[in-house]
A and B are shown apart, each in its own frame.
Chain A
Amino acid sequence: MVIMSKNSIVDFSKIKDELADLAKPIQVLDQNAKVVNQAVFDSFSDDQLVEFMKKMVWERALHEQTMNFSRQGRMGFYAPTAGEEASEMGTVMAMQKQDYLVPAYRDIPQLIQHGATVTEAFLWSRGHVKGNEFEARALMPQIIIGAAYVETAGVALGLKKNGEDAIAFSYTGDGGTSQGDSYEGMNFAGAYKVPALFIVQNNGYAISVPRESQTAAPALTQKAIAAGIPSVQVDGMDILACYSVAKAARDYMLAGNGPVMIETLTNRYGAHSSAGDDPKRYRTDEQQKPWLEKDPLIRLRKVLTDKKLWTEEQEEALIKEYKDSFKDALKQADAVEPEKVSDMLKRTFEVPTPELQAQIAKFEEKESN
């Protein structure tokens, strides 16, 4: 880094220019589905490529079906995921069951992929405690942006202390990188050299606020540099790149090297959430057009079609199969008994206090009538 210049003891412009070099996303497939990293591409078997495609089709179908349910009033809070399939499925498929997922509110597909049932995910959306009783090694989707990152540092330290062959992995969005907790989490993980993978899904917007308004940093990977941990930008519409980078990060961390941060450059095709957000208020069709052309499904579909591994009919059949399974999952969610206040009081502490016991008795009497 050049520090001296003719007129000044330090050349700040030069330092700033050097930061811009951080914005160089890794790709395996370019936008036209052309292989730009042959060695990595060749490392995938045909079966793996098909599996990636299936998972993305599954996530897109989940998104579409959930939107339908949402419009029918059969779903609660839901944060759309269309456009983020490569980023979400690619990273989570590189993980193992023993890894600990600390998701945020948009990370429902990863939570299901990691072991929660679709019914549980739907119950979470509706707001029912049974939605959080999943067997998966994971926390529930975190609503407080940033909190997942400090908790991930702690989970990773716990796994390391346990001597487990497992990592902690967590997601936030571009807006989330502005939170103090995001920095604290990465900094703690770095200081303790723990296996914590921080994934920033940069879809360009935090509700209506564009990523450029969050920070002057040319790449969000720079946030990790402040914590002294390696970070890399990935084409978030390229599932092969997302998977490969996440897998490399996991291997690196399990070798005892400490945390990693990955920024996936992606886009959400839908609104911020089902709670009345209208993206037309803050972004234009022209802005969206190039992203729709970068659709991660289009890209891999072309590769598979060229290899004669995929057909339109096959995809349609899969979509139907998936959507039917989501309808079944929703029926199962419908069948779950409503919650009782007495149960909420009972699970506030391990042993209810006398005051809670009195309230439990009161509500149990009401509930028995």
Chain B
Amino acid sequence: MSKKSYIQAITEALDIMLQEDPKTLIFGEDVGKNGGVFRTTQGLQEKYGADRVFDTPLAESGILGLAIGLGLTGWRPIPEIQFSGFTLEAVDSIVGQMSRMRFRFNGKKNSPITVRSPYGGGTHTAEMHSDNLENIFTGVPGLRVVMPSNPYDAKGLLISSIENNDPVLYLENLKLYRSMKDDIPDEKYTVPLDQANIVQEGNDITIVAYGAQVQEAQKAAEELAKSNISCEVIDLRTVSPIDTATIFKSIAKTHKVVIVQEAQKMAGVGAQVASAISEEAILSLDAPIGRVAAPNSVYPFALAEEVWIPRKDEIVAKVNEIINY
């Protein structure tokens, strides 16, 4: 047990899986000698050799095509797309190919692939580096989308993702990479996929969040507690498929819900959660479903991030609105 950043948690998970399973392979742009542009693969090539951890030419579709082919020949690929904005170059590989492998071959072939890619705002990146593109991938049958919100989950969910025999898009939050440290075990452990986590219990309202917004929701809950509003904060962890059972159970107790996401409001995870509640648990509620999300514009230029990304204050305001409905 020691204090580790989100990045260190990821590196540790990769290290453990390279050690444990000789079929695991890490590859992508600058992941080898350079250790990744964020140092998430730091030291791994040195430790496991260039046969296991290697650089690729600069072509995202090629990288994921490589992953698919390696997956078909007995390997367990963990490719990296340097920034999630660049996953768009490889949408066919993800949506059109690896996610369908098991379906196409009636289980006789599969894609045991974990695609790692950083995303998320608040670090003033250049264009197409911080976009929250999970909305594009959450509607894809056969694909899991995992978005950890803290170092403990980052490690445990990454190990689970790699061990899983179906493709996982594992999105790493840029803002969280170095902004927090948690005490986490040094040894191998897993956090289950497809399961949300109640990060804070409460009775008055449920806040559903994921990624960097979980921290914002927790900060909001802390502030709301001062006004005697008790928030139950749920971290989705896996945003496709969504663990609706945990949400339904929570709102059966609180009767109110606010859904928080950093991505633009249209379509996507928040809309999916809201529609699931509307279809199956609407009678649990005694107020409308509240939503906090980014405006429906293109992801902002760096200097405008602070006015665009939803933060604690917006969550506090929305909770008050729903509570006082």
Residue of B69, B164, B245 with most chain A CB atoms under a 10 A cut-off = B69
Contact A129 B97 (CB under 8 A): no
Minimum CB distance partner of B238 in chain A: A353
Supposing A153-B62, A347-B102 touch, asked if A147 and B69 sit within 8 A by C-beta, the answer is no
B176 CB within 8 Å of chain A: no
Contact A147 B92 (CB under 8 A): yes
Supposing A100-B73, A348-B141 touch, asked if A188 and B102 sit within 8 A by C-beta, the answer is no
Supposing A147-B97, A187-B62, A354-B245 touch, asked if A130 and B69 sit within 8 A by C-beta, the answer is no
Contact A168 B69 (CB under 8 A): yes
A162 CB within 8 Å of chain B: yes
A191 CB within 8 Å of chain B: yes
Query: Which B residues are CB-close (under 8 A) to A133?
Result: 105-106, 108
Which residues between 133 and 173 of chain B lie within 8 Å of chain A, taking CB atoms? 141-142, 144, 164-166
A246 CB within 8 Å of chain B: no
Contact B59 A184 (CB under 8 A): yes
Contact A348 B142 (CB under 8 A): yes
Contact A154 B70 (CB under 8 A): yes
Partner of B241, one of A139, A144, A162, A353: A353
Contact A349 B142 (CB under 8 A): yes
Contact B93 A147 (CB under 8 A): yes
Contact B97 A349 (CB under 8 A): no
B188 CB within 8 Å of chain A: no
Contact B57 A158 (CB under 8 A): no
Query: Which A residues are CB-close (under 8 A) to B92?
Result: 144, 147, 181
Contact B194 A144 (CB under 8 A): no
Contact A155 B69 (CB under 8 A): yes
How many whole Å from A163's CB to the nearest CB in chain B?
11
A26 CB within 8 Å of chain B: no
Instruction: Tell me the bound Cα distance from A109 to B105 in angstroms.
Output: 19
B72 CB within 8 Å of chain A: yes
How many whole Å from B32's CB to the nearest CB in chain A?
13
Which residues between 35 and 69 of chain B lie within 8 Å of chain A, taking CB atoms? 51, 56-57, 59, 61-62, 64-69
Instruction: Tell me the bound Cα distance from A359 to B93 in angstroms.
Output: 27
Contact B110 A154 (CB under 8 A): no
Contact B142 A151 (CB under 8 A): no
Contact A152 B51 (CB under 8 A): no
Minimum CB distance partner of B60 in chain A: A184
Query: Which B residues are CB-close (under 8 A) to A144?
Result: 92, 96-97
Query: Which B residues are CB-close (under 8 A) to A185?
Result: 62, 65
Instruction: Tell me the bound Cα distance from A156 to B65 in angstroms.
Output: 11
Query: Which A residues are CB-close (under 8 A) to B142?
Result: 348-349
Instruction: Tell me the bound Cα distance from A153 to B69 in angstroms.
Output: 7
B200 CB within 8 Å of chain A: no
Supposing A162-B73, A191-B57 touch, asked if A147 and B51 sit within 8 A by C-beta, the answer is no
How many whole Å from B82's CB to the nearest CB in chain A?
16
Contact B69 A129 (CB under 8 A): no
Partner of A154, one of B68, B105, B241: B68
Which residues between 141 and 172 of chain A lie within 8 Å of chain B, taking CB atoms? 144, 147, 149-159, 161-162, 168
Instruction: Tell me the bound Cα distance from A176 to B245 in angstroms.
Output: 46
Query: Which A residues are CB-close (under 8 A) to B244?
Result: 355
How many whole Å from B247's CB to the nearest CB in chain A?
12
A117 CB within 8 Å of chain B: no
Contact B51 A161 (CB under 8 A): yes
Query: Which A residues are CB-close (under 8 A) to B106?
Result: 129-130, 132-133, 347
List the 6 shortest-distance A-B pairs measured between CB atoms, nearest first.
A154-B69, A150-B65, A158-B73, A184-B62, A155-B69, A154-B66
8 contacts between A and B (CB under 8 A): A100-B72, A139-B109, A147-B96, A151-B65, A158-B69, A159-B73, A347-B107, A349-B102
Residues of A whose CB lies within 8 Å of any CB of B are 100, 129-130, 132-133, 139-140, 144, 147, 149-159, 161-162, 168, 180-181, 184-185, 187-188, 191, 344, 347-350, 353-356
- For the A-B complex with A129-B105, A144-B92, A161-B70 known, give 13 more contacts whose Cβ atoms are closer than 8 Å: A132-B106, A133-B106, A147-B96, A153-B69, A155-B70, A181-B62, A188-B66, A349-B142, A350-B166, A353-B194, A354-B194, A354-B241, A354-B245
